[in-house]
Structure 1
Amino acid sequence: MMTNDVHGNNASREAGPDATAAAVDICINGAGPVGATLACRLATMGMRVLLLDRAALPGMEDPALDGRAYAISEGSRRMLEAAGVWGCLPGPTQPINEIMVRDGRPGERPSSLSLDFGPQDADGPFGWMVEARDLRMALNAALTRTEGLILRAPDLGQFAFDDQHVTIRLASGETWRAPLAVAAEGRNSALRNQVKIPVTRLPYRQCGLISVITHEKPHDGRALEHFLPQGPFARLPLPGTREHPNRSAIVWAEGEERARRFYGLPDDVFAREIAARLGGDDIGALEPIGRRWIYPLSAQYAQRYTATRLVLAGDSAHGLHPIAGQGLNAGFKDIVALADLLETAFLNGRDLGDASLLMQYQRRARPTNMLMLAACDGLERLFGNDNPLLRVARDAGLSALNRMPRLRRAFVREAMGL
């Protein structure tokens, strides 16, 4: 039997079988977007779900904690809707109606060989931009109104796994028992470390810069992905506000030293650096608003997604380079795969922690995630350099794809999670 707490420190005693433990169908450790959405989805299917997090949920709504905005794919949006989360969003979302892909250098006109995705490539928006705080507020609202969901946050759990069940002893004094636990705590997953699942990490020696800008001209739902030698630059459309009707999110990867220097620039100089990377995307005069964030960038993947009575989901299982903006969507795909298997097993009275069932989840989720990780890593290495021969080859590839409508539509459907 293995025991641990959510911090990943060795437990002082074994958490053995306890006849007084309350029973649930699933215990999810981590109430981030993946864990919280999975909890809501499983509870709406009729399961009794215990959701734990070390942090108090209202505190997660502080916009100063997270400046990100998520590009939610259509497949993810449908899943959020089924989980009762999408309808709880406190404000409007911004549809992405067009995506411009460019290759170039800062301050120069991009290559004329480019790639544009428009309404002809999809039967609706490519995705929706949702600010992190709005998604957090929606999750918190859904968690408090979903029947069958038991929320313990803030609290810490000590987990003990054996062949029959998982026992969870909370710091608050409660003891629970479940046939299955889900690790959804993020990249530094304590449960993954506890069961000694190896992780392979890919450092990029880059940092991501995140900020919001207001600009003179409307974006019309248009997004830009500009590949640059130091790393990709993206401008993503955001819904407007009364004060700032035209807003966009900036997600910008640079080498670590350069990123730290850009992070500390005055607003007017920072705005000029952003304008130099827009690659012909005409949004007029721009101005940074609010604070900036800087994050180290890396990718990682777990060697397996299962252990005795445990599965990994979201960043606990995989972490992607943000070059394609698919990190959260990859986690939501895990939810779709896992929830589908668990619902069928639950309705048939099957053991939800059965090893063969968990292996089915790994076979569904891991190959797709590994392909996405390889694609993001390959794109970063292909476009993140200034080799003249590679520039010619990749620009020709973008141009060729631009002339293949059927292939473009197939590519878009995959990115939309359909």
Structure 2
Amino acid sequence: MTRSSPAVLDVAIAGAGPTGLALALALRRALGRSLRIALFDPALARPAGQDARASMIAADGRRLLQDVGAWPDNAAPVAGLRITDSRLDDAIRPTFLELGDRALDGEPFAHMVADSELRAALRRRAEEEGVELVAAAIDRHEATPGGLTLSFGLDERRCRLLVAADGARSPTRAREGIAAHQFAYDQIALVATLGHEAPHGGVAVQHFLPGGPFAMLPLSGNRCSLVWSERRAEAERVIAADDSAFLAEVERRAGPDFGALTLDGPRGAFPLRFLLARSFVGRRVALAGDAAHVVHPLAGQGFNVALRDVAALSRIVAAAARGGEDFGAAATLALYERARRLEVASVAAATDGLYRLFAHGATRGLRDVGMGLIDRAPSLKRRIVATAAGL
């Protein structure tokens, strides 16, 4: 059996989703084309399909994507966030908390970007930058002196560092023997892109309903991204409904502000879960994005936390490479673990705590008082906006 033996890779990335692509581009920008980078993902062989999801990207993530040349042209700035807390059939939904659109330095704290458009922009830029794209999954990796041997199909490559950006069920994390604390929520997220009659004004709306948070997030034009977290039994009923019945359920929850709604693309659904890896590093292996952490989408922080992984790992790898150090060594990867562990654990705990706070109707009065107090504290609101922006 003949095995190919091309040049040794500096960095191999398992997974060519937005996290893996963004990391490859950040490393390319920091260290130039002399760095040998390859992404491995069987999905690279398939044409990109439509995706019902969109991401709210904070200001620090936008800066990173602009720096690497992969910022989509039609990203929609978020001009504000309005939060309500009500029962499904309440005639009036008072706004308990409203956040403005400006962070401390005067820029929008977030933009909304359709995931399919973001992925296309990242892949296009990766191809322009000469990042090697391998349409295969890494089946096995083994530590050898000074590096790793990767096996994919009948081929092998060697690398100095392997990054797992291959999702919540990361095969790389499993092979490396890194355990994760994880559990399933009794909720399914329903997602879709919706057209609507009335303009959204760039304002994101999140209704905390008994079944879970229901968010209408502004996209370009008279469109929004629906992210509706619902109890599993009710969600499965809605998933089985036809499009007209689905839209009727959405309109019931959205209220009259948007006018008539239409579907502007496919619907999607995915079960919600919590995951936090026990370690973000292994033997010449680093975890990034969903391979390291998965949080509830109610605060829109999942991809933002992944982009902060990208920023930290690319910075640490670049500093080690410039200093002539082994960027895959345990001492270097320990810097990444320390840089990310506390923030990720804090975000995971905060989002899980918010989910549990709003999941119990008995706490409604207390949480509404709390949101009202925040709404009347401008300095605290500015701090919340700056934190959400990553600034």
Shift of 1:169: 3.0
Candidates 141, 145, 150, aligned match of 2:124 = 141
- Distance in structure 2 (CA, Å) of the matches to 1:414 and 1:57: 38
Residue type of the alignment partner of 1:224: V
Candidates 387, 403, 410, aligned match of 2:376 = 403
Shift of 1:263: 1.8
- Distance in structure 2 (CA, Å) of the matches to 1:35 and 1:230: 33
Report the counterpart of residue 106 of structure 1 in structure 2. 88
Residue type of the alignment partner of 2:140: Q
Report the counterpart of residue 93 of structure 1 in structure 2. 75
Q: 1:212 to 1:324 in 2, by over 3 A?
A: same
Report the counterpart of residue 347 of structure 1 in structure 2. 322
2:112 matches 1:129: yes
2:17 matches 1:32: yes
Q: Give the paired residue count.
A: 385
| Cα contact 2:274–2:296 (8 A) shared by 1 | yes
Candidates 230, 233, 239, aligned match of 2:211 = 230
Question: 1:211-241: CA deviations, max 9, x gaps?
Answer: 222211100101011111111100011112x
Q: 1:80 to 1:307 in 2, by over 3 A?
A: same
Shift of 1:21: 5.7
- Distance in structure 2 (CA, Å) of the matches to 1:386 and 1:40: 45
2:314 matches 1:332: no
Describe how 1:282-321 pairs up with structure 2 within 5 A.
282-321=257-296
Shift of 1:43: 1.5
TM normalised by structure 1 equals: 0.87
- Distance in structure 1 (CA, Å) of the matches to 2:313 and 2:115: 24
Residue type of the alignment partner of 2:174: N
- Distance in structure 2 (CA, Å) of the matches to 1:290 and 1:316: 28
Report the counterpart of residue 203 of structure 1 in structure 2. 184
Describe how 1:109-258 pairs up with structure 2 within 5 A.
109=91, 112=94, 114-119=96-101, 123-147=106-130, 149-154=131-136, 156-171=138-153, 173=155, 175-240=156-221, 246-258=222-234
Q: 1:223 to 1:20 in 2, by over 3 A?
A: closer
Q: 1:130 to 1:113 in 2, by over 3 A?
A: closer
| Cα contact 2:53–2:193 (8 A) shared by 1 | no
| Cα contact 2:102–2:108 (8 A) shared by 1 | no
Report the counterpart of residue 42 of structure 2 in structure 1. 54
Residue type of the alignment partner of 2:8: A
| Cα contact 1:54–1:156 (8 A) shared by 2 | no
Report the counterpart of residue 4 of structure 1 in structure 2. none
- Distance in structure 1 (CA, Å) of the matches to 2:219 and 2:360: 29
Residue type of the alignment partner of 1:79: L
Q: 1:157 to 1:269 in 2, by over 3 A?
A: closer
- Distance in structure 2 (CA, Å) of the matches to 1:307 and 1:226: 41
- Aligned to 1:353, the other structure's residue is in SS state coil
Gaps of 5+ in 2: none
Residue type of the alignment partner of 1:29: A
* Cα RMSD, aligned residues only: 2.0
Residue type of the alignment partner of 2:37: V
Shift of 1:53: 1.0
- Aligned to 2:367, the other structure's residue is in SS state helix
Residue type of the alignment partner of 1:41: A
Question: 1:335-358: CA deviations, max 9, x gaps?
Answer: 011111111111111101121111
Gaps of 5+ in 1: 1-17, 241-245
Q: 1:199 to 1:119 in 2, by over 3 A?
A: closer
Q: 1:112 to 1:400 in 2, by over 3 A?
A: same
- Aligned to 1:43, the other structure's residue is in SS state helix
After superposing the two structures, state which structure 1 stretch, 284-293 or 327-336, moved more: 284-293
Question: 1:190-209: CA deviations, max 9, x gaps?
Answer: 11101111111121111111
- Distance in structure 1 (CA, Å) of the matches to 2:389 and 2:364: 27
Residue type of the alignment partner of 1:219: H
- Distance in structure 1 (CA, Å) of the matches to 2:79 and 2:27: 32
Identity fraction in percent = 36
Residue type of the alignment partner of 2:120: M
Residue type of the alignment partner of 1:133: S
- Distance in structure 2 (CA, Å) of the matches to 1:396 and 1:357: 46
Shift of 1:155: 5.1
Report the counterpart of residue 413 of structure 1 in structure 2. 386
TM normalised by structure 2 equals: 0.93
Give 4+ residue runs of structure 1 displaced > 6 Å after superposition. none
- Distance in structure 2 (CA, Å) of the matches to 1:164 and 1:154: 24
- Distance in structure 1 (CA, Å) of the matches to 2:183 and 2:304: 20
After superposing the two structures, state which structure 1 stretch, 153-162 or 199-208, moved more: 153-162
Candidates 233, 254, 266, aligned match of 1:278 = 254
Q: 1:214 to 1:307 in 2, by over 3 A?
A: same
- Distance in structure 2 (CA, Å) of the matches to 1:112 and 1:19: 64
- Aligned to 2:275, the other structure's residue is in SS state strand
- Aligned to 2:238, the other structure's residue is in SS state helix
- Distance in structure 1 (CA, Å) of the matches to 2:8 and 2:92: 59
Shift of 1:386: 1.4
Report the counterpart of residue 361 of structure 2 in structure 1. 386
